[in-house]
Chain A
Amino acid sequence: METVILIFMGISFACCFLCLFRIARGPTAPDRTVAIDILGIVIVCFCALMAVLTGKDFFINAALVWSLVSFIGTLALSKFLEGRGLDD
């Protein structure tokens, strides 16, 4: 049973590296914003898997808070993009 969870966590790591590749490579700023948003959701998924692996419930608290903070960060970044576009 733990083996299955460890395989799932490995897939999550692969997802994180794909997102990091897009953050490093992304030709424009919105590309990086999208990748950061998706990285946040993948980390929420990772926290849920950690909670199942260890049986401790505070990982779910971390997931709850992380989902909200990631949403607010993405909104702030997109507002920043929009404001810069209106100037020129």
Chain B
Amino acid sequence: MTNVIAFVLMGIGMAFNFFGCLGLIRFPDVYNRLQAGTKCVTLGTIFVLAGTAVFFGFTGTSSRAILCLVFILITSPTAAHAVSRGAHRAGVALWKKSVVDQYKKDKEGEKG
């Protein structure tokens, strides 16, 4: 029974992983690719690690899997935030069909 739950969790996670990586190919600029990466791949890996924890039961291996899950849940948004700010400061423009960029407007206002 626990094995079935574990494999269902892993299956959901792998589906999220695959579509997240597909979004990495399909989306047009860095910021939208970050959206796909930070959400889908993080959630997919969290599901896979939760499935691993369920599979191993109440042992040291599953405690380590849960610790790894917490690390990924904390570090992934921080990395995405750092990369997006670095990209904007390095001068990577948004997609040409983007609606609005108030960050760039405010930075130019401070300079001039």
The answer to whether A and B touch in the complex, with CB atoms under 8 Å apart, is yes
What separation, in Å, do the CA atoms of A35 and B67 have in the docked complex? 24
Q: A84 vs B11: C-alpha distance in the bound complex, in angstroms? A: 41
Cβ of A48 and Cβ of B24 under 8 Å apart? Answer: no
C-alpha gap A31/B17 in the complex (Å): 18
Whether A75 lies near B79 (C-beta < 8 A) is yes
> A42-B17, A60-B65, A67-B68 in contact; A82/B89 too (CB < 8 A)?
yes
Q: Is the CB of B48 within 8 A of A49?
A: yes
Collect the chain B residues with CB atoms within 8 Å of residue A30's CB. 30, 83, 86-87, 90, 92
The tally of residues in A whose CB lies under 8 Å from a CB in B reads 48
Could you say which residues of chain B place their CB within 8 Å of the CB of A44?
Answer: 45, 49, 68, 72
With a CB–CB cut-off of 8 A, which chain A residues contact B52? 48-49, 51-52, 60
Q: Are B90 and A84 in contact (CB under 8 A)?
A: yes
Which residues of B line the A interface, CB within 8 A?
3, 6-7, 10-11, 13-14, 17-18, 20-22, 24-25, 30, 33-34, 37, 41-42, 44-45, 48-49, 51-52, 55-56, 60-61, 64-65, 67-68, 71-72, 75-76, 78-80, 82-83, 85-87, 89-92
Query: What is the interface of chain A, defined by CB distance below 8 A to chain B?
Result: 1, 4, 8, 11-12, 14-15, 18-19, 21-22, 28-31, 33-35, 37-38, 41-42, 44-45, 48-49, 51-52, 57, 60-61, 63-64, 67-68, 71, 74-75, 77-82, 84-86, 88
CB-CB under 8 A for A37 and B61, given A30-B92, A48-B52, A63-B68: no
